[in-house]
């Protein structure tokens, strides 16, 4: 068995698939660089992202499994699961060897794992679309911080670009230390060089001197509306937590103390 070590990017994973066919490798274990622990014997094969090779593999997959299949493939990749990387690698080879029909074979452990992981990622995507809460800064920028279980920013960019097309905004992923910035025209990835939250155990908020003058007022109004719209007699905490898990509460303005 050969061990391929790649850089953790989608291009790197697809380049590994290309390399496997180029080397005519039989059994391959693929590991992302962040998870790899070299042994005394070494012998690993380093895979470097080659965008030309990656594009060829991506186009080949597209011919076999179409847009929907590629979407599921990409969502599973964003799950950042080491087992998922292996399943995506093995599934890619199965698709090229057997054709796109393999995607419907749920007896295949890799197909099943990819489907399940993609579904979890899409569930997290929908939660982020619902749970993002912006704070308006003094310069008019709407800023929000999140820490999703999976890397879903690439999946939510279109939703927010369409829904908030008339304003500038920035959504920042604390865990992965990058964000999406919309300038009113296009969305691009950004990396911040300051600490947006010194104490992550609390609500991730910015210093008040950076906020718009009336931002605290709007937050109080929103929390007041939430409290008054609540019907105590119909309170169902168990159902509420099922729809809004507690790990998201620290990002929700309405969940903070008034």
Could you report the per-residue pLDDT of 150-192, keeping only the tens digit for each?
999 999 999 999 999 999 999 999 899 999 999 999 999 999 8
* pLDDT tens, residue by residue, 20-57: 999 999 999 999 988 888 776 667 899 999 999 999 99
What is the mean predicted confidence (pLDDT) over 195-205?
51
Characterize the bridge pairing of strands 142-146 and 169-173. Answer: parallel
Provide the whole-model pTM: 0.82
pLDDT of residue 38: 79
Token pair listed for 234:
């119909």
Q: What was the pLDDT predicted at 202?
A: 47
C-beta separation of 19 from 58 below 8 A: no
Counting DSSP H helices and E strands in the chain, the numbers are 7, 8
CB 75 within 8 A of CB 39: no
Q: Per-domain residue ranges for the chain? A: 2-121, 132-255
As a whole number of angstroms, the distance between CA 164 and CA 144 comes to 13
Query: Given this model, what pLDDT does residue 257 score?
Result: 58
The answer to whether 125 touches 157, Cβ cutoff 8 Å, is no
Tell me which residue has tokens 């749920």.
106
Mean pLDDT of the chain: 86
């Amino acid at each position: 068995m050969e061990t391929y070590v790649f850089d953790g990017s989608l291009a790197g994973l697809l380049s590994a698939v290309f390399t496997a066919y180029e080397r005519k490798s039989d059994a391959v274990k693929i590991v992302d660089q962040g998870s790899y622990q070299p042994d005394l014997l070494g012998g690993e094969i380093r895979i470097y992202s080659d965008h030309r090779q990656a594009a060829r593999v991506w186009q080949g997959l597209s011919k076999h499994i179409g847009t929907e299949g590629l979407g599921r493939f990409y969502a599973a990749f964003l799950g950042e699961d080491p087992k998922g990387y292996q399943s995506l690698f093995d599934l890619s080879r199965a698709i090229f060897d057997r054709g796109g029909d393999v995607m419907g074979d749920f007896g295949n452990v890799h197909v099943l794992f990819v489907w399940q992981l993609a579904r979890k990622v899409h569930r997290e995507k929908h939660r982020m679309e619902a749970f993002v809460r912006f704070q308006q800064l003094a310069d008019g920028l709407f800023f929000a911080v999140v820490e999703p279980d999976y890397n879903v920013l690439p999946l939510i960019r279109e939703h927010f670009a369409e829904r908030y097309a008339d304003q500038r905004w920035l959504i920042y992923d604390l865990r992965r230390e990058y964000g999406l910035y919309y300038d009113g025209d296009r969305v691009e990835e950004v990396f911040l060089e300051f600490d947006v939250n010194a104490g992550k155990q609390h609500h991730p908020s910015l210093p008040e001197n950076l906020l718009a003058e009336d931002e605290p007022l709007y937050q109080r109004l929103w929390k007041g509306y939430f409290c008054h719209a609540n019907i105590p007699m119909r309170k169902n905490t168990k159902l509420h937590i099922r729809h809004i898990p507690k790990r998201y509460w620290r990002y929700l303005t309405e969940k903070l103390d008034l």
